[in-house]
Amino acid sequence: MTPDGSVPFDVELGDANQSGSGPSPVQQLARLALKLVGIGFTTVFMATGIIFHNEPPHVLLFYGHPIAYYLTLMSIFIAGVFEIGTAFGVSRAHDDGEAGDGRRIAFGRAVLWASIIPLATVGGLGGYTIRFKA
């Protein structure tokens, strides 16, 4: 306790983030690539499972149009493959010496946000239940 009644509070940040500017571009690329690979493989596996194990639903959207149903699933599959390819492209930015360049990070983030649409669509078509641990 100091003479004015306050308690000193000493905190050391360590070596990981001394500049206070957040993770380095290389760390951002690695995290982004990991997220893209995870969502991409999840989308691909869910679409593949629906293609081989479910028949077209008899709902208003695909009633009498099984080709449209399977084309939708194939386009979702291709979107998942594109997400995985984007992850490899983003991860190669470090090898190419472009880790400080924000274009690949920005493109990877845009693809990551856009990947929610095929993932939600394949989840809705397949009737998957997604549970969150509280």
- Residue-wise pLDDT for 83-118, tens only, equals 999 998 888 776 666 555 678 888 889 999 999 999
Domain assignment of residue 25, yes or no: no
Q: Domain span at residue 113? A: 30-126
Instruction: Kindly give the parts of the chain with pLDDT less than 70.
Output: 1-21, 58-59, 94-101, 128-130, 134
State the pLDDT at residue 126: 78
- Is residue 105 a part of any domain in this protein? yes
AA letter at 21: S
pLDDT at res. 43 = 93
> Identity (one letter) of the amino acid at 110?
A
Number of domains present in the structure of the chain: 1
pTM of the complete model:
0.71
Give the orientation angle of helix 25-53 with respect to helix 116-126, to 10 degrees: 20
Locate 26 and state its tokens.
């290389």
Q: Does residue 17 lie in a domain region?
A: no
The residue type found at 55 is E
Q: Per the domain annotation, does 76 fall within a domain?
A: yes
pLDDT at residue number 78: 96
